[in-house]
Chains A and B, each alone.
Chain A
Amino acid sequence: MTTETLPEQAHKADASIGGYVKNYLDRVRGGELGALPAVFGLIVLCVLFSILRPAFLTPGNFANLFTQGAAVVVIAMGLIFVLLLGEIDLSAGYASGVCAAVLAVSLTNNGWPWYTAVAAAMLTGVVIGLVLGALVAKLGVPSFVVTLAAFLGFQGVLLLLVKGGTNISIRDTTILAIANKNVPPIVSWIVLVVGVVVYAGIQLFRARRRIGRGLLADPLALIAFRVLSLAVISGVAVYVLNLERSRNALIVSLKGVPIVVPVIVVLLFVWTFVLRRTAYGRHIYAVGGNAEASRRAGIDVDRIRISAFVICSFMASIGGIIAASRANSVDPNTGGSDVLLFAVGAAVIGGTSLFGGKGRALDAVLGGAVVAVIQNGMGLMGYSAGVKYVVTGSVLLLAAGVDALSRKRAASTGRR
């Protein structure tokens, strides 16, 4: 056995903050754009709309952005699991509609309590995912075809559930609160402070443990930068959302973080943890990167495929519940028309690859923000629905183009 020490060799990568910046720039130049296009696009769009329409920058509109985009963000978060495998779920939009209809029928027509109705809606989502996943993984039908068929089928199921086009209104206060009520300002501040402190603690703990074992750890400056940017961005958001939004504050006060925001934050945290810290998440990436290699490594590829579709449809059911809460009702259009394309668009704009193997839960939030800002801003500008569709379609195409180009570039620089 030769005893040359690899640790020095292996860890000679630059550990200073300068080294990190250089490494990051190299990666971007090599075609690994990550969240850059989404963040850049978000800033440009926000500046543009604030100049053209000052109403865009009001606290009331800021809160609107969250409730408008929430359902799409949640559905996109589930879609990312399917996209990571290089598959697609075209039925996620109408799946959310079907789940919302199950919720509405149980609540309003059958008079169930909200928790059983929500459980029924979520269960519907899980069952839908199991069926789609089994058809793709076990039968080997391309996911594009399976979910396109399901897209049509669920549209019909939705119509049947709402009895040919009637509108089922939702009166349950708990469900309505999700998209229409706010967290008390003091509570959101406490949660924010606790959240930032816990995040900083975890980061420092991990770095210290790695240094203690002689491994390369993130430099302190980078950790400080991450914690500080999280604190500043979320602090500003909470501050603005806690401003009075009501036109007549004496009659009815309207302030605080909409309840959907913590819902999304919790989902983001859970799925990020699953993808980055568990063996299951690692296997999702592995199957998306090289299914044959994963099979030989002893990973049950079929099980991973099915589970990704289950997660996708389950998240669609949550998206459907949020959409029903926001609209106060469920009709044959819930989860229909543009919802699915916006969700796919959100994931891709956020940086998730349509070719599989690359993506994060955070992409759904970033991309969803871009989609929501376009919809909201163009609405304020008074453009018709037609123009909005054209613009959103173009942005989706642009994002998919950036994805394909960065992939090409990455291939030519040997990064993928």
Chain B
Amino acid sequence: MSQGPVLELRGINKSFGAVQVLHDVAFSVYSGEVTALVGDNGAGKSTLVKCIGGIHPIDAGDYFFEGEKVHVSGPRDAADLGVEIVYQDLALCDNLDIVQNMFLGRERKSGLVLDEATMEEMAAKTLDGLSVRTVTSLRQYVASLSGGQRQTVAIAKAVLWNSKVVILDEPTAALGVAQTAQVLELVRRLADNGLAVVLISHNMNDVFAVSDRIAALYLGRMAAQVKTSEVTHSQVVELITAGRSGELGIKNGNGAAS
């Protein structure tokens, strides 16, 4: 897939009061690829994601979606474009089942009554498309699911709406080894199905296991956006901790990213 990026940000600035959190950030996301967004605590990952999701308005900079310049002023706008964010706390209701959670707030109705059959079919089709085999019944309460299964439901919920960009905020942070592998496999499959995936992670193993590109933020600046195959483990760690690594990264500590 060699077309331009599906989502592209240029020169994004964002301040909270006197504190400038994002400086001139450029960020591109491509269909069919997993872009890992890495950076130390406070580097601005969450703020950047919230700007993409329309939760924070951007102060300056351009937001392109499929080559067109767009204006995103709220979470609804982002959802309408096809950008879905899966937050770390997943936002699932324990007392509802899988189908009910996947359609929460966007229930299918026939007249006044909920159309359970259609919703169940669509949920099954979505999970099928992700070849999820870990869920036995769609009518299981989310309370009875494991951490990995919950993550799967949350991701499936994001995919259900024909979304084009799915942003995952530390999907494996609270999971064990086997479940992490399952979720990473799912992340890879999302990209293979043609979606653009942004993966926020602190875990270098996860990043190198699934990502095609790595974008490293350093103190609110985009240190580098590189292909995963062209960098080494230690180079990425240097980018995260020092903002540069040899030829890569921020020159002279401020300004232009390579």
Query: How would residues 128 to 145 of chain B score, 1 for a CB under 8 Å from any chain A CB and 0 otherwise?
Result: 110111011111010110
B93 touching A279, Cβ below 8 Å: no
Complex Cα distance, B89 from A279, in Å, reads: 24
User: Which residues of chain B come closer than 8 Å to A277, judged between CB atoms?
Assistant: 112-114
Known: A210-B117, A213-B121, A215-B120. A4 touches B131 (CB 8 A): yes
Q: How many residues of B contact A (CB 8 A)?
A: 41
> Which of B8-16, B98-106, B213-221 lies at the binding interface?
B98-106
Q: B109 at interface (Cβ–Cβ under 8 A)?
A: yes
Asked if residues A279 and B127 are in contact (CB atoms below 8 Å), the reply is no
Asked if residues A5 and B128 are in contact (CB atoms below 8 Å), the reply is yes
A12 with B117: CB separation less than 8 A: no
The answer to whether the Cβ of B91 comes within 8 Å of any Cβ in the partner chain is: yes
A10-B138, A13-B137, A298-B106 given; A293·B92 CB < 8 A: yes
Q: What is the distance, in angstroms, from A33's C-beta to the closest C-beta of chain B?
A: 15
Given contacts A285-B95, A290-B93, A297-B91, contact A1 B193 (CB under 8 A): yes
| Chain B residues positioned under 8 Å from A294 (CB to CB) | 93, 104-105
Cβ-based interface call for B77 (8 A)? no
Query: A247 in the interface, Cβ–Cβ < 8 Å?
Result: no
A-B CB proximity, top 3 nearest: A297-B105, A6-B128, A289-B93
CB pair A286–B96 under 8 Å, yes or no, is: yes
CB pair A415–B141 under 8 Å, yes or no, is yes
Asked whether A416 lies within 8 Å of B95 as measured between CB atoms, the reply is yes
Chain B residues touching A, majority SS? loop
Complex CA–CA separation, A215 to B13 (angstroms): 50
* Contact (Cβ within 8 A) B128 A4: yes
B contact residues around A338 at 8 Å (CB): none
B213 CB to nearest chain A CB (Å): 23
Most A-side CB within 10 Å, residue of B104, B109, B114, B136: B104
Interface size on A, residues (CB 8 A): 39
C-alpha spacing A10/B156, complex, angstroms: 14
Tell me the nearest residue of chain B to A357, going by C-beta: B95
B160 at the interface (CB under 8 A from A): no
CB distance from B1 to the nearest CB of A (A): 15
- Complex Cα distance, B207 from A173, in Å, reads 77
User: In the complex, which residue of chain B has the Cβ closest to the Cβ of A281?
Assistant: B114
A299 touching B104 in the complex, CB below 8 Å, given contacts A7-B128, A289-B94:
yes
A36-82: which residues lie under 8 A (CB-CB) from chain B? none
Q: Which residues of B does A touch, CB under 8 Å?
A: 75-76, 87, 89-96, 100, 104-107, 109, 112-114, 117, 120-121, 124-125, 127-129, 131-133, 135-139, 141, 143-144, 189, 193
User: A212: shortest Cβ distance to chain B, in Å?
Assistant: 9
Q: How far is the CA of A177 from the CA of B47 in the complex (A)?
A: 65
Shortest Cβ distance from B167 into chain A, in angstroms?
Answer: 14
Q: Does A200 contact B (CB under 8 A)?
A: no
Q: Is the CB of B96 within 8 A of A6?
A: no
Q: Is the CB of A1 within 8 A of B93?
A: no
Q: Which of A215, A289, A414 has the most CB of B within 10 A?
A: A289
Give the docked Cα–Cα distance between A145 and B131 (Å).
Answer: 50
Question: Is there a chain B Cβ closer than 8 Å to A171's Cβ?
Answer: no
Contact digits for A284-305, partner B, Cβ 8 Å, 1 yes 0 no: 0110111011101111000000
Answer whether A289 and B135 are a contact pair too, CB < 8 Å, given A10-B127, A294-B104.
Answer: no
On whether the beta carbons of B143 and A416 are closer than 8 Å, the reply is: yes
A6 to B122, CA, bound (A): 11
Provide 10 A-B residue pairs closer than 8 Å at the C-beta atoms, listed in order of the A residue.
A7-B128, A10-B124, A13-B139, A213-B117, A215-B121, A278-B114, A282-B114, A289-B93, A410-B143, A415-B144
Q: Name the B residues within 8 Å of A384 (CB-CB).
A: none
Contacts of A298 in B (CB 8 A): 76, 105-106
Between A209, A210, A279, the greatest number of chain B beta carbons within 10 A of the residue's beta carbon is seen for: A279
Residues of A within 8 A of B (CB): 1-2, 4-7, 9-13, 209-210, 213, 215-216, 277-279, 282-283, 285-286, 288-290, 292-294, 296-299, 357-358, 410, 414-416
Knowing that A10-B127, A283-B105 are A-B contacts, what are 6 other residue pairs whose CB atoms are under 8 Å apart, sorted by A's residue number? A6-B132, A7-B128, A285-B95, A285-B100, A288-B95, A293-B91
* Alpha-carbon separation in the docked complex, A286 to B94 (Å): 9
Task: Report whether A7 and B124 are in contact in the complex, using a CB–CB cutoff of 8 Å.
Answer: yes
Question: CB distance A290 to B92 under 8 Å?
Answer: yes
Q: List chain A residues, Cβ under 8 A from B189.
A: 2
- Complex CA gap A110/B248 in Å reads 87
In the complex, what distance in Å separates the CA atom of A209 from the CA atom of B120? 13
Q: Given the complex, which residues of A lie within 8 Å of B117, measured CB to CB? A: 209-210, 213, 215
Cα distance, A50 to B90, chains bound together (Å): 53
Chain A residue, CB-CB nearest to B113: A277
Q: Determine whether the beta carbon of B91 is less than 8 Å from that of A296.
A: yes
With A4-B133, A293-B104 already in contact, the answer to whether A286 and B93 are too (CB < 8 A) is: yes
Residue in B93, B131, B143 whose beta carbon sits within 8 Å of that of A414 in the complex: B143
Given contacts A279-B114, A289-B93, contact A12 B132 (CB under 8 A): no
Asked whether B104 lies within 8 Å of A297 as measured between CB atoms, the reply is yes
- How far, in angstroms, from A296 to B120 measured CA to CA in the complex? 22
Cα distance A277–B137 in the bound complex, in angstroms: 20
CB distance from B140 to the nearest CB of A (A): 8
Nearest opposing residue in chain B for A288, CB measure: B95
A297 to B136, CA, bound (A): 25
- Residues of A close to B137: CB separation below 8 A: 10-13
Closest B-chain residue to A356, C-beta based? B95
Q: Which residues of B contact A283 (CB under 8 A)?
A: 105
When chains A and B are docked, how far (Å) is the Cα of A285 from the Cα of B120?
Answer: 18
Cα–Cα, bound, A410→B109 (Å) = 32
Q: How far is the CA of A296 from the CA of B90 in the complex (A)?
A: 10
Rounded to whole angstroms, the CA-CA distance of A202 and B113 in the bound complex is: 14
Q: Cβ of B136 and Cβ of A13 under 8 Å apart?
A: yes
| Distance from B96 Cβ to chain A, minimum over Cβ atoms (Å) | 6
Q: Is the CB of B127 within 8 A of A289?
A: no
- State A84–B228 Cα separation when bound (angstroms): 49
Contact indicator A289/B91 (Cβ below 8 Å): no
**In the complex, A279→B104 CA distance in Å?**
9
> Shortest CB–CB separation between residue B156 and chain A, in angstroms?
11
